Structure 1
Amino acid sequence: MPVTTPIKMTPEEWRAEAISRFGPNKMKWRFVCPSCSHVASAEDWKEAGAPEGSVGFSCVGRYQPEGPGDEALAAAAFKGKGGPCNYSGGGLFGLNPVHVDLEDGKSVHMFAFAEATVQPLHTPGKPTETGV
């Protein structure tokens, strides 16, 4: 589900959220493009040859073989026909819903995290889904 209200976080909160969802390996952290809802990991951006600063900021579609400016790619994504698209968080429309407030007063606008892939640890005394 797309995030419609900006979420403000500190860098520490943002990292903690990522680790709780995906574990400590940053390459496994996954983000949702606010334009086309495509989910990609940092590893996907790297494989596409994208610059490090584009992870969670611009859709991975900008760096795939279709490349930026491919009108068919963008049109399909904006019409709800899937992604990835060529959306960039630095463009005219600032859709990135997570605002990470830095110590210098600046704010970095990021994609929302995807659904968690790390299972929560079992809490003693509470049954798991299997009842154990």
Structure 2
Amino acid sequence: MNNEHRVLTQDELWAEARERFGQAPQGWAFQCPSCGDIATGNDIRQALLDHPRRAEGLSRNVEYTEVLGQECIGRVLGKTAGRGCQYAAFGFIHGPWQVAVPHRRKPMYCFPLAPAPAGEQGAGR
């Protein structure tokens, strides 16, 4: 598990994710720095379909792209999930990656990308 602190731009993060996992964010995978669970966009999407929650201050549900890489899947599934933990990249101990996002004054924090599937590093599917 790689918990090394990194600072990168949103474009750099997306480029690295595309190179490692392909173009679609549903296939991008992040690794929780606390418990080591690896969750893809599809995993988070399904968890939010099974356990929907409202976006704070809005009349819509949270989308998987708002959670992917920022919350462990255990936080999305709930305490009885049997998978993941309650860690969030934006919590008291944040990161370990720091991402500069255009039009935001402060950077966002996220989990590190998971390792590429065996034999597919650089495949850019």
Give the TM-score, by structure 2 length.
0.74
Conserved 8 A contact 1:2-1:37: no
Counterpart AA for 1:28: G
- Partner SS state of residue 112, structure 1: coil
Conserved 8 A contact 1:31-1:114: yes
Question: What is residue 122 of structure 2 aligned with on the other side?
Answer: 120
Larger-Rg structure = 1
Percent identical? 31
More relative contact order in 1 or in 2 (CA 8 Å, sep 6+)? 2
What pairs with 1:47-126 in structure 2 (closer than 5 Å)?
47-49=46-48, 51=62, 52=64, 53-64=66-77, 67-68=78-79, 83-94=83-94, 96-104=95-103, 105-117=105-117, 118-120=120-122
Conserved 8 A contact 2:90-2:108: no
Gaps of 5+ in 2: 53-61
| Superposed structure 1 runs of 4+ greater than 6 Å apart | none
- Partner SS state of residue 8, structure 1: strand
Residues paired across the two proteins, number:
106
Give the TM-score, by structure 1 length.
0.70
